[in-house]
Amino acid sequence: MNVKSLVGRRAAVAAGLVLALGCGVSTQASAAGTGALGGKAKAKAAVATCSQKELGVSAVKERDARHLLLTVQNASDKKCNLYRSPLVRLGAGTGNTPVIKDSDGTPGVPVTLSPGQEAYAALLVSGGGRDEYEAKSITLGLQGSKPGSSAGKPIDVPMPVNTLYADDGQLVTYWTTASGYALDFIMSK
């Protein structure tokens, strides 16, 4: 990655974070519980599930407008967990973008974000050779801790270009804290 794209990515993340903060990003309290271990009671803080309340969100085109990097940043003062992959809808598409199964580097383990930390998912907007449609929006949903559940409300992601040309070959990766790892799954497509 060159310095120019890194600077552009950081600026986009900062813009997304400013947008999210301007829309009332707040903190979500972590749940706390107690348990006994060896006869001693210990306080155990549970890590909350990330929702739109904690996250700043951005999308940056990598090579071209077909290859996007979705970035979320924990804007709260508590840790939070991202589960599995983002639920992405491009424009008025009929469903969520399919996930690349092989992109889950740690199956079943959530990505835990400390305050200020970022996570990434790579999005292939079009697989080529199929009927395209114009997408003027990206909507991102977060999964809850239980499969099939959701966390918070859908998030409108700032568009990296005015219009994306999507098709039914679109794919998204699981969440990761390594942007290069996520991008490896879509850049050859």
Quote the CA–CA distance of 144 and 50 in Å, as a whole number. 8
- In this structure, of 21-35, 69-83, 96-110, 164-178, the range with the lowest mean pLDDT score is 21-35
pLDDT, tens digit, for every residue of 7-42?
A: 344 444 444 443 333 333 332 333 333 333 343 333
Quote the CA–CA distance of 182 and 122 in Å, as a whole number. 5
The residue behind tokens 């552009």 is 8
The residue behind tokens 């568009």 is 159
- Non-local (6+) Cβ contacts of 55 within 8 A are 20, 25, 72, 73, 74, 75, 142, 155
In this predicted structure, the answer to whether residue 1 has a pLDDT above a threshold of 70 is no
DSSP 69: E
- In this structure, of 91-100, 110-119, 132-141, 166-175, the range with the lowest mean pLDDT score is 91-100
What the block records as the tokens of 169 is: 């070959």
Higher pLDDT, 36 or 113: 113
User: pTM of this prediction?
Assistant: 0.77
